[in-house]
Amino acid sequence: MYRVGVDIGGTFTDLLMLGQDGRTVIGKTLTTSSDPSLAVETALRQALGEGVTKPCEPGELIHGTTLVTNVIIERKGALTALLTTAGFRDVLEIGREKRYELYDLNLEPPQPLVPRYLRFDVPERILADGSVLQPLDEAYVQRLVTELRDKGIKAIGVCYLHSYRNPEHERRTAEIISKVAPDIRVSLSSDVVSEIREFPRTSTTVANVYVQELVANYLTKLQQRLDSLAFVGSFFVMLSSGGIATAETSARFPVRLLESGPAAGALAAAHAGVRSGHPNLLSFDMGGTTAKLCVVEKGQPLKTHEFEVDRVYRFKRGSGLPIKIPVIDMIEIGAGGGSIAHSDSLGLLKVGPKSAGVEPGPACYGYGGEEPTVTDADLVLGYLDAKFFLGGKMRLDVEAAHRALDRLAKPLGLTTEQVAWGIHQIVNENMANAARVHLGERGKDPRHMPLFAFGGAGPVHGYRVAEVLHLPALISPLGAGVGSTFGLLVAPLAFDFVRSAYSRLDSLDWGFANALLQEMARQGRMVLENSGLAASEISYRRSADMRYAGQGHEVSVPIPNRILDERDIPPLTAAFEQIYRELYARAGPDVPLEVINWRVVASGPQPEMHFRPTPARTGETAKKGSRLVYFPEYGSFVETPVYDRYVLRSGMSLRGPAIIEERESSLIIGARGQARVDEYLNVIVKFADA
Amino acid sequence: MPEMLIDSVILEVIWNRLLSVANEQQDALLRTAFSTIVRESEDLACGVFDRQGRMIAQSLSGTPGHINSMATSMRHFLVAYPQERLAPGDVLITNDPWMTAGQINDITVTTPIFKNGRMVALFANTCHAADIGGRILSAEAREVYEEGLRLPIMKLFDCGKPNTVLLEIVKANVRQPDEVLGDFHAQTACNDAGGRALLEMMEEFGLESLDAVAEEIVSRSEAAVRNHIRELPDGEYHSETWSDGFEEPIVIRCCCRMAGDEISIDFAGSSPQSSHGINVVLNYTHAYASFAVKAAVYPEVPHNEGSFRPVHVTAPPGSILNAIDPAPVASRHAMGHFIPSAIFAALAEALPGRLVAPGADPIWLSVWRGNNPSFTISIFQVGGMGARPTKDGINAIGFPSGVAGVPAEIIESLSPLVMRRRQLRPDSGGAGMWRGGLGQLTEFTKRAEGRWSVSCIIDRTKFPAPGLFGGKPGARGEFILDTGARPNPKEQVDLQLHQVVHLNTPGGGGYGDSFARDPERVRQDVIAGYITPEAARDCYGVIVRFTSREGQLVRLPDQWVIDEAATAELRRATLRPTGE
């Protein structure tokens, strides 16, 4: 059996195929945004022709896609109605009642996916303990749904207060809808995210049903294309959590597909880290417009349950629609190769957040861009080779880059080279500053984590970012430019469940908690067995979100896989206190604990990846030439050796300053760098003492 | 152009590094602080100061209240403990409201940083303590002495040794000693972390002193602010803002004087200080005034000593915005939150197209208590933001404060309260070419037997948010019991079993002539239910008709049409309102 990962990005659709014998095929084709499944078919057809598979050999396709993000950002989803507890139809619009930016008087709040005229108060009320204060007015629901059906509404989200505690009214509402209007898609908040706090729960539920039809149609279409290729085997979709799910599960909970591409990138970094003996690292994926950082610990990327989509201010927390899904915890920084440099009203050099994008692109692309970008600076500094960009497929215009930088240099009183190095340095600093805050918020000390750099610009900037952060090393994989697709092939089948049941730990109803945990595990087993796993292959990870009574933020505490009772209070307390100390570097107060949520993750085994790197070309010297490159250690341009990435063999070592070039990226090694190639052809750069 | 001491690239890198250090400090505090207000509203600040006590970088705190009150405190610290009396391992502390952030719960901790035996910088942070003794946060005290334990500027650590006398006294005076002392520890630790990062950076860049960097930061920021102010028209501009007050209304009179490259803001003529705890110290007045000027004039210039210099804020001693020790000050936000609107209202004419109409302004606080089971819960609520020169005001959003709301599900899990309603309040946004943001309709009741009460600090129930340039005022706030009674908005009310309390927050003021509003926008507002068809007719002169059968639950946009002829006729016939 062969396995193949396909990741649809904004510009390119990347493919990685892994044959039974460990041989690989890498594919890259332009994304077809009007029908993204077409590019998948094209890439797959090409790869199948490469001869690593036999005809009729069963395959396994794992797919990452930005479809859900795009549908939400472009507001292309179904016309959706929302049913809420009477008195609460504005939950989506009232939100957190907080401005996300202090000084912008003209800020715009994020626009809810459901307009106010489609948000309806339904007479019913359940209290925090699950008891019914007011029964559901079924006749009202029937009348409302009939009208919605007759007016062409295609999707309904239902979110009643405290449904995480008692979902009865939501379920009854779904029954009525399916009777009155069987064609309308319905998402219940108690199914999508059974978690306390009505605003994020409503927002997530609505997003789920809003994108559902398009996602279902897309997955069906993709399946048809696979059928037409005579693809035999199974087809899975990458989730934001780093697990994979069947197309059927994905179509039920499409909101969990958000961020599936970047999640794959972090997984790839984690996997490569484990293999090269670095289970803890900082994954650094830098592309044309943004960079993403993620902490990997013990071989696993950190996870969170808070996410936002469609931010009005792209990188500002609070400016997007909140989505409660398990998601790999990444920080996105608005800095990439296309970021534009400018001088501000204080006469300082600034980089970003404006980006030249693909059109017009950096000045050196020659597509009409005139503003100086990070890529232009990298070119002028000698980090990029004008003749070997994308392996020589694209020629860069050094003169245009110089002109763009000159215009900026003059008012700042700097030379072109100074401004180029300034841009390079400032963008690295921005990255490092964001990383410090991200790490600090999570109580992580990066000094033992190497930086794992990939993406088109990651290896160009990784050395300096690692240096500024005092990280011990820099690791860059072979094929850094298409790094994300590796992650698709190492993800296990997995699905996350959550149920809120707010209680003090010392007065917890253990029977109820056990029932919730068992119910979630049962659902997990069902989902995974339906995906083709045997019961014996499924493992369960349980956790409880706990906090000191009255605190605002919860801490996730692992709990054992068995029936719990009051004898578990001391070990749970101890586990909570230990995690709390790790996070906050101090003991907490003498305050009782409370449990907010119970969680279960059901997962299958992590696939073994028998990846056999294509052997290095032999008989050639690794050094393919040299050129003048700027290194701040020398304060000037120095003649620097350039190595061919495809000739580097395991065990080789070299010293900075040096450049290692591959088709999609260049790895820059500064003067203190001592690089060695490991058996998986990762380049590992350590810093000699200055 | 002043002569450059450092090139602009290195300066940018170092400056960003300083801001990053301050933000790391802030995040550490945010995660570890125990007071709910700190976490929910980011009611704290962290900053880096040069040897002279000039603030050179500040974290991105969530509320304007600390923007420069911490900066002011540093001057007091250095007067009490001049450089030569400070040694490595010293940590200073105070919560004096008149020296820092205007409230006795706000504790400021300062740490001098030394390099090769020489002081190079100071780190400071201000953080809202979970408790500081005295009364629990309210406006009930008559003197600051009732509001808690005041700590004059003193050493928390002396050459690394903790001041155990101070700690014992604090411990004996607060309800939650572990948390309060834990926060002292966190405030000290985050300064240390900042100091370490600073020294590393100085090492990396080969700096023996921060003086040159500080000079560049201060002078460039000051020059940038002055450039912005110079472009504004000179002149004197006034406004008058009315608050419900405690027992009687309070007026804030604001005079903004722009001359050359400086702005002076004076609050002479405002009401005298109150006998209740809604008084504001000048530092806090200064903080909110700086916030307003920055948002209006120079949002992109970072806050530091230099950017404060061209802005002067004064208020007569003994007045509501410059209360004299020992006035009670615990609920200073109730008045302080009016300051930005007062300044915007004064400057609106001078800065056309830039400022926001007044909105609900002070955040609403209601404290609910009861028994069976016994509970106390504080709930913050917000109304509508004022309309803007090219946009409607935002519905149900805090301005100028930045406090997040609490979900109904959390309120009901923490207490026996039942929130029966939380929705936008139709017709509450002031009419205008641009409509004020909507307030909220909220209702509370209690599910079990037993006594309960509510005490509120809410405002704009007597004086609505005025409009600008002919815009109409927003709706007044309402505090109504189901009996129809309308209690005093700032007093404790005992409630009966099954009683329902309505707290309807105010709407924002409108901007410009409502009869000039694009009729299509009026129609959209009717479709959304932001305004009723009656208000569309009466306030905007637009006739929007529902064209389908009455009695339908689902009303789609295309079922609402503008009666063009009737609208034109009505708009012609009605005298344009001239505003309030």
pLDDT at B5 over 60: no
pLDDT band at A134 (very low <50, low <70, confident <90, very high): very high
Pick from A418, A440, A550: which is nearest to B28 by CB?
A440
Closest residue on chain B to A82 (Cα): B554
**Dihedral of CA B230/B232/B235/B241: which sign?**
negative
Phi, psi (5° rounding) for residue A300?
Answer: -120, 135
In a domain, B82, yes or no: yes
Q: Which residues, in sequence order, are bridge partners of residue A182?
A: none
Phi, psi (5° rounding) for residue B24?
Answer: -65, -45
Structural domains of chain A sorted by starting position, each given as residue range(s) with its CATH number in brackets: 1-59 (no CATH), 76-213 (3.40.1360), 494-603 (no CATH), 623-687 (no CATH)
Judged by DSSP in three states, A179 sits in helix
Q: Do A102 and B399 touch (CB under 8 A)?
A: no
Last residue of a domain, one of B174, B206, B223: B223
Copy the structure tokens of residue B423: 């929705």
Q: How many CA atoms lie within 13 A of B320 on its CB side?
A: 29
The residue behind tokens 């340095």 is A425
Give the DSSP letter of residue B420.
E
Contact B147, B141 (CB under 8 A): yes
pLDDT at B62 over 70: no
Contact B192, B112 (CB under 8 A): no
Domain count, chain B: 2
Contact A351, A341 (CB under 8 A): yes
- How much helix, strand and coil, in percent to the nearest 5, is found in chain A? 35, 30, 40
pLDDT at A95 over 50: yes
Q: How much is the mean pLDDT over chain A?
A: 90
Cβ-based contacts of A153 with chain B (< 8 Å): 554
Q: How many CB pairs under 8 A join A and B?
A: 218
Task: Assess A142–B contact: CB distance below 8 Å, yes or no.
Answer: no
Q: Do B404 and A350 touch (CB under 8 A)?
A: no
Phi, psi (5° rounding) for residue A14?
Answer: -100, 145
pLDDT tens digits, A387-435: 877 777 788 999 999 999 999 998 888 899 999 999 999 999 999 988 9
Query: What pLDDT is attached to residue B1?
Result: 33
Report the gap between the CA of B222 and the closest CA in chain A (Å): 9
Query: What pLDDT is attached to residue B560?
Result: 97
The residue behind tokens 């957040």 is A353
Q: Do A91 and B182 touch (CB under 8 A)?
A: no
In a domain, B91, yes or no: yes
Average pLDDT in the A473-502 region?
Answer: 88
Cβ-based contacts of B447 with chain A (< 8 Å): 127, 133
Pick from B299, B421, B440: which is nearest to A104 by CB?
B299
Q: Do B443 and A87 touch (CB under 8 A)?
A: yes
Contact B280, B332 (CB under 8 A): yes
pLDDT at A615 over 70: no
A308-328 exposure pattern, b = at least 16 Cβ within 10 A, e = fewer: bbbbbbeeeebbbbbbbbbbb
Phi, psi (5° rounding) for residue A126?
Answer: -115, 145
Query: What pLDDT is attached to residue A551?
Result: 67
More confident residue, A583 or A527: A527
Judged by DSSP in three states, A627 sits in strand
Alpha-carbon distance of A130 to B564, in angstroms, equals: 51
pLDDT tens digits, B187-200: 898 898 889 889 98
Alpha-carbon distance of A667 to A654, in angstroms, equals: 13
Closest residue on chain A to B388 (Cα): A106
Closest residue on chain B to A123 (Cα): B420
Pick from A93, A108, A345: which is nearest to B424 by CB?
A93
What range defines the domain where residue B46 resides? 8-223
Report the gap between the CA of A425 and the closest CA in chain B (Å): 8
Last residue of a domain, one of B223, B257, B273: B223
Q: Which residue type occupies B321?
A: L
Copy the structure tokens of residue A10: 């904004």
* Helical ranges in B446-563 per DSSP H: 519-528, 533-540
| Rounded to 5°, angle at Cα B376 from B374 and B382 | 145
Alpha-carbon distance of A337 to A374, in angstroms, equals: 5
* Helical ranges in A254-311 per DSSP H: 260-275
Cβ-based contacts of A672 with chain B (< 8 Å): none
In a domain, B528, yes or no: yes
Query: What pLDDT is attached to residue B36?
Result: 60
Query: What pLDDT is attached to residue A611?
Result: 64
Alpha-carbon distance of A229 to A231, in angstroms, equals: 5
User: Which helix (H) or strand (E) segment is B454 a member of?
Assistant: strand B452-457
In a domain, B166, yes or no: yes
pLDDT at A610 over 70: no
Query: What pLDDT is attached to residue A532?
Result: 86
Report the gap between the CA of B21 and the closest CA in chain A (Å): 8
**Nearest to residue B281, comparing CAs of B220, B329, B225?**
B329
pLDDT at A47 over 80: yes
Alpha-carbon distance of A136 to A156, in angstroms, equals: 17
pLDDT band at A621 (very low <50, low <70, confident <90, very high): confident
More confident residue, A580 or B390: B390
How many of the other CB atoms lie within 10 Å of CB of A331?
17
Task: Assess A196–B contact: CB distance below 8 Å, yes or no.
Answer: yes
Closest residue on chain A to B216 (Cα): A346
Alpha-carbon distance of B569 to B160, in angstroms, equals: 80
Query: What pLDDT is attached to residue A20?
Result: 80
Query: What pLDDT is attached to residue A600?
Result: 95
pLDDT tens digits, A314-332: 677 888 999 999 999 998 8
Please, what is the end-to-end C-alpha distance for chain A in angstroms?
50
Alpha-carbon distance of B192 to A35, in angstroms, equals: 55
pLDDT band at A586 (very low <50, low <70, confident <90, very high): low
Cβ-based contacts of B556 with chain A (< 8 Å): 117, 151
Report the gap between the CA of A478 and the closest CA in chain B (Å): 32
**Nearest to residue A282, comparing CAs of A439, A134, A131?**
A439
Pick from B8, B17, B32: which is nearest to A429 by CB?
B17
Task: Assess A579–B contact: CB distance below 8 Å, yes or no.
Answer: no
Query: What pLDDT is attached to residue A361?
Result: 85
Closest residue on chain B to A114 (Cα): B528
Query: What pLDDT is attached to residue B112?
Result: 97
In a domain, B149, yes or no: yes
Copy the structure tokens of residue B545: 């008709």
Q: Do A198 and B381 touch (CB under 8 A)?
A: no
Query: Which range among A57-71, B8-22, B323-337 has the greatest average pLDDT?
Result: B323-337
pLDDT at B40 over 80: no
pLDDT band at B139 (very low <50, low <70, confident <90, very high): confident
Copy the structure tokens of residue B110: 């300062």
> In angstroms, what is the C-alpha Rg of chain B?
25
pLDDT tens digits, B420-472: 999 999 999 999 999 999 999 999 999 888 899 998 989 999 999 999 999 99
Copy the structure tokens of residue B574: 């009605």
Q: Do B557 and A117 touch (CB under 8 A)?
A: yes
Query: What pLDDT is attached to residue A534?
Result: 92
pLDDT band at B4 (very low <50, low <70, confident <90, very high): very low
Give Cα separations from A451 to A137, A330, A422, B141 (angstroms). 57, 14, 22, 56
Alpha-carbon distance of B253 to B237, in angstroms, equals: 11
Last residue of a domain, one of B204, B223, B242: B223
pLDDT at B578 over 60: no
Share of chain B above pLDDT 70, in %: 95
In a domain, B532, yes or no: yes
Average pLDDT in the A265-282 region?
Answer: 91
Region of residue A361 (phi > 0: left; psi between -120 and 50: alpha; otherwise: beta): left
Contact A296, A279 (CB under 8 A): yes
For residue A632, say if its preceding peptide bond is cis, omega within 30 degrees of 0.
Answer: no
In a domain, B212, yes or no: yes
Alpha-carbon distance of A264 to A174, in angstroms, equals: 34
Interface test with B, best of A80, A84, A88, A90 (most B CBs within 10 A): A90
Q: Do A347 and B8 touch (CB under 8 A)?
A: yes
How many of the other CB atoms lie within 10 Å of CB of A1?
13
How many of the other CB atoms lie within 10 Å of CB of B211?
15
Give Cα separations from B46 to A551, B24, B25, B73 (angstroms). 22, 9, 6, 12
Report the gap between the CA of A414 and the closest CA in chain B (Å): 8
- Centroid of chain to Cα B394: 16
pLDDT tens digits, B229-254: 999 999 999 999 999 988 899 999 99
pLDDT tens digits, A170-226: 999 999 999 999 999 999 999 999 999 999 999 999 999 999 999 999 999 999 999
**Nearest to residue A531, comparing CAs of A248, A212, A217, A239?**
A248
**Dihedral of CA A75/A78/A79/A84: which sign?**
negative
Give the DSSP letter of residue A35.
S
Average pLDDT in the B126-131 region?
Answer: 84
Share of chain A above pLDDT 70, in %: 96
Q: Which residue type occupies B176?
A: Q
pLDDT band at B35 (very low <50, low <70, confident <90, very high): low
pLDDT at B318 over 90: yes
Task: Assess A553–B contact: CB distance below 8 Å, yes or no.
Answer: yes
| pTM score of the predicted model | 0.92
Give Cα separations from A12 to A33, A64, A206, B16, B120 (angstroms). 10, 12, 30, 34, 51
In a domain, B392, yes or no: no
Interface test with A, best of B1, B4, B10, B12 (most A CBs within 10 A): B12
Q: How many CA atoms lie within 13 A of A535 on its CB side?
A: 4
pLDDT at B178 over 90: no
Cβ-based contacts of A345 with chain B (< 8 Å): 224, 227-228, 300-301
Cβ-based contacts of A591 with chain B (< 8 Å): 179
Q: Long-range CB contacts (< 8 A, 24+ apart) of A132-136?
A: A132/A166, A132/A168, A132/A169, A133/B418, A133/B447, A136/A169, A136/A172, A136/A173
Task: Assess A495–B contact: CB distance below 8 Å, yes or no.
Answer: no
Closest residue on chain B to A590 (Cα): B178
Interface test with A, best of B21, B199, B554, B558 (most A CBs within 10 A): B554
Cβ-based contacts of A412 with chain B (< 8 Å): 8-9
